[in-house]
């Protein structure tokens, strides 16, 4: 496939647009990663909450078990510590849930910031570039086949501006009908130039 024009000015524009598109995509991806890392830092609070809840739960459970072994009063004293242990477990679960929520938010924001602009750039940049490559490859095949000169000249008559056609010949259609080789080569070259292919 032919990705760049044979003409220096058009090729320079294509290379510039390619570099800018890649730079913009890299910038959006970097921004998505940066936002993800920024938001994911909020999980520290959830980690601390989970650790505090786990520590409190373990302490209350240990105290309850130790006091539960005291004869006569152990069963009555253990109840409040068991309740406190449940509260610690609730705090621990809330910390874990907060971490999951923040991780999901960080992933969603990071992907949203990076993927949507990159997809838009790909649609606006890559699709026309691939269309150009396909059109240039087709034009090159027609020229190399030898039978495409007449077809390219006819296409130029239908797609190019009248002022551009008038610069080639006063009546380019009549010249095409009579098979004027010079006019047909000029028309074909004009059409090929819009495809980025130089007529050799």
Query: Model confidence over 38-62: pLDDT tens digits?
Result: 999 888 888 888 888 888 888 888 8
Phi, psi of 70 (to 5 degrees): -70, 130
Cα angle: 14, vertex 4, 18; to 5 degrees:
35
Residue 67 pLDDT greater than 90, yes or no: no
**CB within 8 Å of 95: residues ≥ 6 apart:** 46, 47, 48, 49, 50, 51, 52, 53
H-only helix segments in the chain = 8-40, 43-68, 74-121, 127-145, 148-159, 162-168, 172-177, 181-194
pTM over 0.75: no
**pLDDT tens profile 144-157:** 776 577 788 888 88
Which pLDDT band, with edges at 50, 70 and 90, does 200 fall under? low
Mean of per-residue pLDDT scores for the chain: 85
- The yes-or-no verdict on residue 24 having pLDDT over 90 is yes
């Amino acid at each position: 496939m032919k990705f760049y024009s044979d003409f220096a000015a058009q090729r320079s524009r294509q290379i510039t647009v390619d570099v800018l598109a890649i730079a913009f995509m890299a910038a959006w991806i970097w921004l998505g990663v940066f936002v993800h890392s920024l938001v994911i830092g909020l999980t520290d609070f959830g980690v601390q909450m989970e650790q505090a809840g786990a520590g409190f739960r373990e302490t209350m459970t240990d105290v309850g078990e130790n006091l539960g072994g005291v004869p006569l009063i152990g069963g009555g004293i253990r109840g409040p510590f068991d309740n406190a242990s449940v509260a610690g477990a609730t705090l621990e679960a809330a910390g874990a849930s907060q971490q999951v929520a923040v991780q999901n938010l960080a992933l969603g924001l990071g992907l949203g910031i990076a993927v949507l602009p990159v997809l838009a750039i790909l649609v606006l940049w890559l699709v026309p570039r691939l269309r150009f490559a396909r059109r240039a490859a087709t034009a090159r095949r027609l020229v190399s086949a030898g039978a495409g000169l007449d077809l390219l000249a006819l296409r130029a008559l239908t797609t190019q501006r009248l002022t551009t056609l008038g610069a080639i010949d006063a009546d380019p259609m009549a010249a095409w009908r009579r098979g004027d080789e010079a006019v047909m080569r000029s028309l074909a070259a004009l059409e090929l130039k819009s495809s980025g292919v130089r007529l050799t």
